[in-house]
Amino acid sequence: MRRKSRPIRIGTVTIGGEYPIVVQSMTKTDTRDVSDTVNQILELEDAGCEVIRVAVPDIEAARSISEIKKRIHIPLVADIHFDPRLAVESILHGADKIRLNPSNISDQEWIRKIARLAKEREVPIRVGANLGSFRNRPNNVVEALVNTALSEVKVLNDVGFDNIVISIKTSDVLTTIQANERIASMTDYPIHLGVTEAGPLEESLIKSSAGIGYLLMKGIGDTIRYSISDVPVKEVEAGFTLLKSLHLRESGLTIVSCPTCGRCEIDLFSLIKRVKADFGRVKVPVKVAIMGCVVNGPGEAQDADIGLAGGRKMGVIFKKGKVIKTVSEDKLYEEFKIELQKIIAEKEKF
**Mean pLDDT on 128-156:** 90
Residue pair 318/324 in contact (Cβ under 8 Å)? The answer is yes
**Where does the pLDDT of residue 39 fall: very low under 50, low under 70, confident under 90, or very high at 90 and above?**
very high
Displacement of CA 168 from its chain's centroid (Å): 16
Could you tell me the pLDDT band of residue 141, with boundaries at 50, 70 and 90? very high
The per-residue pLDDT for 302 is: 85
What average pLDDT score do residues 5-32 get?
A: 97
String of DSSP letters for 178-223: HHHHHHHTT--S-BEE--TT--SHHHHHHHHHHHHHHHHHTT--SE
State yes or no: pLDDT of 333 exceeds 90. yes
Q: How deeply is 346 buried, as exposed, middle or buried, from its count of CB atoms within 10 A (0-12, 13-18, 19+)?
A: exposed
Rounded to whole angstroms, the Cα distance separating 175 from 187 reads: 19
pLDDT given for residue 295 in this prediction: 72
Q: What is the pLDDT of residue 228?
A: 96
DSSP state of 12: T
pLDDT score, position 156: 96
**What's the Cα-to-Cα distance from 180 to each of 66, 169, 175, 190, rounded to whole Å?**
34, 8, 9, 11
Higher pLDDT residue, 292 or 344? Answer: 344
Instruction: Kindly state the percentage of the chain with pLDDT values over 70.
Output: 100
Q: Is the pLDDT of residue 136 over 90?
A: no
Tell me if 238 sits within 8 A of 205, measured CB to CB: yes
Q: Is residue 250 over pLDDT 80?
A: yes
Highest mean pLDDT among 117-121, 300-304, 324-328: 117-121
State the chain's mean pLDDT as an integer.
94
Task: State the pLDDT at residue 10.
Answer: 98
Indicate if the pLDDT at residue 294 is higher than 80. no
What's the pLDDT score for residue 196?
Answer: 93
Q: Alpha carbon of 132 to those of 96, 123, 196: distances in Å?
A: 25, 25, 11
Provide the strand spans (E) within the chain. 8-10, 13-15, 22-26, 51-55, 76-79, 97-99, 125-129, 164-168, 192-193, 223-224, 253-257, 286-291, 306-310, 314-319, 322-328
- Domains, the chain: 8-245 (3.20.20.20), 253-348 (3.30.413.10)
Q: Exposure of 260 by Cβ count < 10 A (0-12 exposed, 13-18 middle, 19+ buried)?
A: middle
At 234, is the pLDDT very low, low, confident or very high (cuts 50, 70, 90)? very high
For residues 250 and 160, the model is more confident at: 160
Burial track 117-149 (b if 16+ CB lie within 10 A, e otherwise)? ebbeeebbbbbbbbbebeeeeeeebbebbbebb
* β-sheet with 306-310: strand ranges across: 253-257, 286-291, 306-310, 314-319, 322-328
Q: Please state, in angstroms and rounded to a whole number, the distance separating the CA atoms of residues 203 and 130.
A: 19
Q: What is the mean pLDDT of residues 280-306?
A: 86
Is residue 293 over pLDDT 90?
A: no
Q: DSSP letter string over 271-301?
A: HHHHHHHHHTT--S-EEEEEES-TTTHHHHT
CA dist 23 and 248 (Å) reads 12
Backbone angles phi, psi at 224, to 5 degrees: -135, 150
3-state SS of the chain: helix, strand, coil percent to 5? 45, 20, 40
What is the C-alpha separation between 160 and 154, in angstroms, rounded? 10
